[in-house]
Structure 1
Amino acid sequence: MTVTVDIWTDINCPFCYLGKGRFEAALRGFDRRDDVVVVHHSFELDPTVPADVSGAVEQHIADKYGISAEQVLANERGIAAQAGELGLPYKVGGRDYGSSFDMHRLLHFALSQGKQETLLDALYAGNFAEDAPLFGDRERLVGVAVTAGFDEQAVRGVLDDPEAYAEDVRRDEQQAAALGVSGVPFFVFGGKYGVSGAQPVETFTRALEMASSEQIVTVGADSADTCGPDGCAVPQAD
């Protein structure tokens, strides 16, 4: 039986990056992984941010939560350690944040090309693993897409048309709202099981195995890390 896994994420969200890595670890160990179809959906953490505005993540987090720069870096190091356990690179310090709407439009373009996963991985790498800022810089975004194997003219064509794939992004976000999704990452397995946050690998494995259930239920602890409209959960440094 084919099982579809729908995943709502945002490129700004470090826990989406971790959640994708943990889900994929579970999927690699799932004996029916060839029967699993993964579909990624759009979710903007802050849809009010203008497209040409970006800022330093460290200052943004410090201002939002009223914590010191040292606490921010300690928290970032904690996330980096979690990423390292999955073999994922994570740049501590120097990242930016901003509007992800154009990135989500490009992800729908990539879906139409059958290469959505490729672009999503490239965008995550561009944000969390590479030195150059990703947000608020159209040329940087074009470069990431082209390096991932997409045609430059086609990518620029999407970005030049503000309505290209915009309705697809809005539809994803409306669907998330209808499901009551308030934070990401959020996974729905087989249209029936909901998993919120960057849960442990074992939770994703269980959800894959239980995807034939008849109701959407939340699997895993409610306290798992997510990012929502008010920002990302701030892990407490030891």
Structure 2
Amino acid sequence: MRVDIWSDISCPWCFIGKARFKTALAAFPHKGDVKVVHRSFELDPQLNDVRPTTGAAHARKYGLTPAQARAAEENLADIARREGLEYLVDFRDHGNTFDLHRLLHLAADHGLQDELLSLVYEGNFATERSVYDSDYQVELAVRAGLDEAEVRTVLADKQAYAHQVRQDEAEAARLGATGVPFFVIDGKFGVSGAQPAEVFSEALQRAWADREPTLTVLGGTSPAGCDVNGACDVQPV
């Protein structure tokens, strides 16, 4: 069974949603048969520079007072910590995530996508460093297990894995996903947002049950035929 997860590195709810889904998956009896694929989604694709997300800017974006914006960030931090995540309340850099998504596709080719995504989330929300700094991106990718020279080559070539990122975004648009995180389980069940782990557990169970349909036998319980012992039903002439 396959689970596709659309997310963006700059999204705190994606960070939290990943942890909640991980909790649900860990308790799922068939977790060994589940393949998780992280898909690209840019929340601010037009952004060309890196900006510190100040409290004032955050307040303007959401129509809040600075005090309300700070309280909202504190609330997010509390929610993240309840999921076992480190979360710094001070506002972080905000920038274009396209290169990070390209690196995540590189990591997928090496079976290291989940490891890199976890490190990038932690770097963005739990440290004072900027994940938009290319040297830090290389450092995180190497920590995930990727080869440094290959990482630098991909970062230098803006076309490397660009098509894969655009394909993910086109698929999200086709599915009607306008925000993240967005989960698609076995191509049949969609879950929008960082839902509680219980919701993900239910979705996993329903998707698993749906892939094993109950057989309906037609024509009665004793049809003419032969059994595994070679005994055949005798029909009157």
State the shift of 1:84 in Å: 1.0
How many residue pairs get matched?
Answer: 210
TM-score (normalised: structure 2): 0.85
Is 1:177 the counterpart of 2:179? The answer is: no
Structure 1: 5+ residue stretches without partners: 215-238
Q: Distance in 1 between matches of 2:50 and 2:6?
A: 23
Is 1:65 the counterpart of 2:62? The answer is: yes
Q: Distance in 2 between matches of 1:173 and 1:129?
A: 27
Partner of 1:94: 91
Deviations 1:111-150 (A, max 9, x none): 0111001100010010011111222x22222222223332
Q: Distance in 2 between matches of 1:54 and 1:146?
A: 25
State the shift of 1:58 in Å: 3.0
Contact 1:54–1:99 (CA under 8 A) maintained in structure 2: no
Deviates more, 1:109-118 or 1:147-156: 147-156
Kindly report the root-mean-square deviation, in angstroms, between the aligned alpha carbons of the 2 structures.
1.3
Contact 2:15–2:121 (CA under 8 A) maintained in structure 1: yes
Greater per-residue strand proportion: 1
Letter paired with 2:193: G
Structure 2: 5+ residue stretches without partners: 212-237
Identity over the aligned pairs, expressed in percent?
Answer: 50
State the shift of 1:57 in Å: 5.0
Letter paired with 1:67: L
Partner of 1:5: 3
TM-score (normalised: structure 1): 0.85
Partner of 2:114: 117
Q: Distance in 2 between matches of 1:29 and 1:161?
A: 41
Contact 2:17–2:181 (CA under 8 A) maintained in structure 1: yes
Q: Matched residue of 1:210: which SS?
A: helix
Q: Distance in 2 between matches of 1:97 and 1:81?
A: 21
Q: Distance in 1 between matches of 2:11 and 2:163?
A: 22
Letter paired with 2:43: L
